[in-house]
A = this chain, B = another copy of it.
Amino acid sequence: MGKKMEMGRLPCLLLVLVLCWSFGRCELQDEKPPSSSIPTVKPLHDELNQPQAFPEEQRANLPVFTMDYPRIQVPFEFTLWVLLASFAKIGFHIYHKITIWIPESCLLISIGLVVGAIMHSVKEEPPAVLSSNVFFLYMLPPIVLDNGYFMPTRPFFENVGTVLWYAVVGTLWNSVGIGLSLFAICQIEAFGVQDINLQNLLFASIISAVDPVAALNVFEDIGVNEQLYIVIFGEGLFNDAVTVVLYSMFSFLADLPVVESVDVFLGVARFFVVGVGGVLFGLLFGFVAAFTTRFTHNVRQIEPLFVFMYSYLAYLVAELFAISSVLAIITCAITMKYYVEENVSQRSCTTIRHVVKMLATVSETLIFFFLGVVTITTEHEWSWAYVLFTLLFAFVWRGIGMLVLTQIINPFRTIQFNFKDQFGLAYGGLRGAICFALVFTLPDNINRRNLFVTASIAIIIFTVFIQGISIRPIVEYINIRRTNKDLNTINVEVHTRMMEHVVCGIEDLCGQWSHYYWKDKFKKFNDKVLRRILLRDNRAESSIVSLYKKLELQNAIDLLDTPMGDLSACKKQKNLTYIFFPLFNFPD
C-alpha cells in the first residue's frame, strides 16, 4: 500500500502541473471571453467557408486541419476547472497527513491563490464564470441539497428551537452589533472612512452569517458531538432567511435619506414572507416530487432525475420571488427523501445519494478554489483600521452573543450547553462562500464597495485559516465532548422508541404538550393520509420495520463498496450493527 502511494505521487503531481499549464495557455488564448455559455447559432465548421482565414493570396485548398476554439470554450474550460479541482482533491488525499491538520478548504484556497497569482500575472480579468449569479444559481444549490438530503432528521428536530434561536436572533445580534460598532468607528476622523454611514449595517449583514460549508468542513473532520454539530449545521443553513432580508432591507435603506418606522415593520413582515414562503415552497415541491415517484417504476432510468429537478425547481422558484431559496431546497429535500426512497428502486436510491454527494463535493471544491483565485484577481481597497476593526468586532460580537443567547436558551434544553460547548460554537462560526458571493452582489453605486470586498475576503481568510486550522488542536486540548459513533443499533432504537412513548404518555397525563406529542400526531397523519397519497406500496409499517429497511439499504450500499468478487464478506458483518451516523455522514 505504502509503496503504491509512493509510486502514485509523481504522475499525479505531473498531471496537475500539466493541467495548470494547459489551462494557463487556454486562458491566454481567449482575448475576449464570451459572456454566454450557450453560444448563438453559428454554422458548424463555418471556418471552412472562410478561405480568408489563410493569409496566402492564392486560392485556398480544402483545409485538412482546422481549429475553432471559441465554439467549445465555455464547456471546455468548465470541464478543465472541474478536473483541476478534482486533481487537487486526489492530491490532498494521497498525502494523508496534510488533511488531518489543515482543513481541505484551506488547501483549496491556497491552490486558488497560486492559480490566481499566475492568472493575474498574465492577464487582468478573472474568468467570466465566477460571477455571483453563477454562484447562487448553479454552485450553491447542490451543496444545500446535499445538506438537506443527508440532514440527520431526529437530532435536527430535537434541537430545532435552539437552531432557530441562534440562526435568527444570533444573526440579527451580530449584524446590528457589528454594524453599529463599525458605524461608531467610522466617526473617528483619523481612520479616513467617515463617508461610510448606514452602509456599515449592510456590510455587517453580509459578514455576520455563518457559512454552513466552511463550518461543516471543519466540524465533520473533528467529529464533535451531535448536539454541537447539528446546531452549527442548522445555524449555517437557516440564517439564510435572516441574511436575505437584512441584506435587502439595508441595501434599500442605505439609499434613503430618512428611515421611517413603517419600513422596519415591513422588514419584519418581509422576514416572515421570506422564511415561511421558503418553507412552503419546499413542502409543495417535496410532496409533488414524492407523488411523481409513485409513477416512475416503468422508467427507472430517469427516476433519480426527479429528485434533482424538483429540488432545483424549488430553489429557482424561491429565487424568483426573492424568498429564502436555501430554506426552500432544504425543506424540499427533507420532505421528499422519506417518500422518494420508498418509491424508487434501490439502484436509483444509490445513484441519487452518490450523485447528490458528488455534485456537492464538486461545487464545494470549486467554490473554495475560486475564492482563492478571485481573492487575487479582484480589485482591492485596503484600510488597516476598517479591516482590523471588522475582524475584531466580528470575533467579539459572536463571542458575547453566544454567551448571552446560550444563557437564555439553556433552561429550555434537556442537554444544556456547557462553557466548552459555547466556546466551540462561537469559535466554529467560520465565514465563507455565501458572504463572499453576497459582497460581490453589492451595487456599483456604493463608493466603498472595494473596501467592503477586501474586508469580507480578509474575514473569510482569517476565519477559515486561523480558526479553521486551530480549532482541532483547541477542541482536543479543552476536550469538548466528541461524537459517540457506535451507539445506534436496533437495540438502542427499540429502547429509544419505548422511552419516547412513555414520556409521551406521562406528558399526556400531566396535560403538557412537547414535541413528542406533535411527533405522535404527525406520525398518525403520515400513516393515514400522506403515505396513502405519496407511496406506491403504502402499507403502514412500524418504525422498527422502517429502520430494518434502512439497515438493509445501508447494507446493500456497503456491499457495493467492497472490492469486486468479495460480495459475501460484507453482509454478515454489518447486518445487525446499524450505525446511524453514516446515514448523514455518507461514508465514502
Contact = CB atoms under 8 A, between A and B. Distances in A.
Given A71-B133, A320-B72, A300 B561 contact: yes
Interface string A536-558: 11000000010011001101110
Contacts of A564: 342, 346, 549, 552-553
Interface in A24-50: 35-49
Interface string A320-347: 1110000000000000000000100111
B309 A72 contact: no
B83 A322 contact: no
B292 A15 contact: yes
A347 B555 CA distance: 12
A35 to B, nearest CB: 5
B443 A93 contact: no
Q: How big is chain A's contact interface, by range?
A: 35 or more
Nearest to A298: B93
A588 B296 CA distance: 11
Contact of A67 (B90, B298, B321, B548): B321
Interface stretch (A188-196, A219-227, A353-361, A398-406): A353-361
Contacts of A577: none
Contacts of A66: 321-322
A15 B586 CA distance: 34
B565 A549 contact: yes
Nearest to A318: B72
A39 B248 contact: no
Given A86-B306, A132-B41, A588 B300 contact: yes
Interface string A343-377: 00111111100110110011000000000000000
Interface in A438-497: 438, 440-445
B94 A295 contact: yes
Interface in A86-109: 86, 89-90, 93-94, 96
A291 B71 CA distance: 29
- Indicate the member of A61, A305, A564 with the most B CB atoms within 10 Å: A564
B249 A62 contact: yes
A83 B309 contact: yes
Contact of A48 (B65, B251, B445): B251
Contacts of A557: 347
A69 interface: yes
B443 A49 contact: yes
A55 interface: no
A575 to B, nearest CB: 10
A481 B47 CA distance: 47
A82 B48 CA distance: 34
Nearest to A46: B443
A561 B347 contact: yes
What copy number does this chain have within its complex?
Answer: 2
Interface stretch (A259-267, A386-394, A506-514): A259-267
B35 A304 contact: no
A82 B305 contact: yes
A64 interface: yes
Interface stretch (A134-142, A162-170, A417-425): A134-142
A198 interface: no
Nearest to A312: B79
Contact of A138 (B75, B443, B555): B75
B249 A316 contact: no
A564 B340 CA distance: 12
Interface stretch (A4-12, A173-181, A208-216): A4-12
B295 A255 contact: no
A131 interface: yes
B137 A75 contact: yes
A553 B350 CA distance: 14
A64 B319 CA distance: 14
B133 A39 contact: yes
A48 B251 CA distance: 8
Nearest to A437: B44
Interface string A48-86: 110000000000011111111101101110011011001
Contacts of A300: 561, 588
A270 interface: yes
Nearest to A131: B41
Contact of A355 (B129, B294, B351, B562): B351
A415 interface: no
Nearest to A553: B564
A42 B266 contact: no
Contacts of A313: 76, 79-80, 83
Contacts of A67: 320-322
Given A49-B252, A61-B263, 5 more contacts: A8-B294, A36-B36, A68-B319, A71-B137, A301-B586
Interface of A: 4, 8, 11-12, 15, 35-49, 61-69, 71-72, 74-76, 79-80, 82-83, 86, 89-90, 93-94, 96, 128-129, 131-134, 136-138, 244, 247-249, 251-253, 255, 260, 262-263, 266-267, 269-270, 273, 291-292, 294-296, 298-302, 304-306, 309-310, 312-313, 316-317, 319-322, 342, 345-351, 354-355, 357-358, 361-362, 438, 440-445, 536-537, 545, 548-549, 552-553, 555-557, 559-565, 567, 586, 588
Question: What 3 A-B pairs come out closest when comparing CB atoms?
Answer: A36-B36, A93-B298, A44-B441
5 contacts: A12-B295, A44-B438, A64-B270, A90-B295, A300-B588
